Structure formats: C-alpha cells, structure tokens
C-alpha cells in the first residue's frame, strides 16, 4: 500500500507526460490529459490494455480544481466525452464505464 501511495502511476505529472488539453466553451476551465507512468504492476497492465490516461481540471488561472482518482485508468477517447464546467454550471460531466457527474462547487468557493 505504501508503494502505491508514494509511487502511484498518476502521482507525478507535468509537461513530460501531458498528452492533450481541451478548453471549456467559455474559457473558464480546461482539462489536461496525462499519461500514467509505469510505476506499478497494475499501471503496466492497464497501459498494455490501452487505458493510459488520467485527467486534471484547472481553472483559467491554472489552479487545480479536480483530478480523476488515482486508480482511474481511462482511454484516449475519454477527453472528448468531458463536458467542462462553465460560469453558469459547476458540474463536470464525463463517461467512464457509465456517466459520471462531479459537482465542483465546494472546490471553487
């Protein structure tokens, strides 16, 4: 468990593993798609299966608002299924083996 905590495949991210960025319709938020690192046996297995990515939502100032769970391994097509929050809606919507909705209200206030 300690190995997973300190060396999770999504613990370290930046320009070196950034794969894609999508900006919201009103420019208030953007989401980055990062590639998991092969730091654990589970990560290696998921990478082989094609589930290579995790996501981080930022506001337009670059502050991290939300990230997919450490155990989430998503395919590359997933970034296009995201509906990013706007000035009028604090809901992040996406598909990951079913529809997911995240209310970010408490993270931005």
For the chain, the domains span: 8-108
pTM of the full structure: 0.83
Among all chains, which residue has been given the structure tokens 């995201």?
82
Distances in Å between the Cα of 94 and the Cα atoms of 44, 75, 77, 98 are 24, 12, 11, 8
Residue 27 has pLDDT above 60, yes or no: yes
Q: What per-residue confidence (pLDDT) applies to 101?
A: 80
Structure tokens that stand for 41 in this block: 């046996």
Q: Average of pLDDT values for 23-48?
A: 89
User: Rounded to an integer, what distance in angstroms lies between the CA atom of residue 76 and that of residue 13?
Assistant: 16
**Residues 47-95: tens digit of each pLDDT:** 888 888 889 999 999 999 999 887 777 776 666 678 889 888 888 887 7
* R_g of the chain computed on alpha carbons: 14
């Amino acid at each position: 468990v300690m190995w997973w905590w300190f060396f999770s495949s999504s613990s370290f991210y930046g320009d070196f593993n950034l794969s894609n960025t999508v900006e919201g319709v009103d420019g208030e938020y953007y989401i980055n798609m990062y590639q998991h690192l092969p730091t654990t046996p589970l990560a290696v297995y998921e990478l082989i299966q094609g589930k290579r990515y995790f996501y981080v939502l930022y506001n337009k100032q670059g502050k991290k608002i939300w990230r997919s769970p450490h155990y989430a391994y998503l395919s590359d097509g997933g970034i296009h299924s995201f509906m990013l929050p706007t000035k009028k809606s604090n809901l992040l919507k996406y598909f990951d083996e079913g529809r997911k909705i995240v209310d970010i209200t408490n993270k931005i206030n």
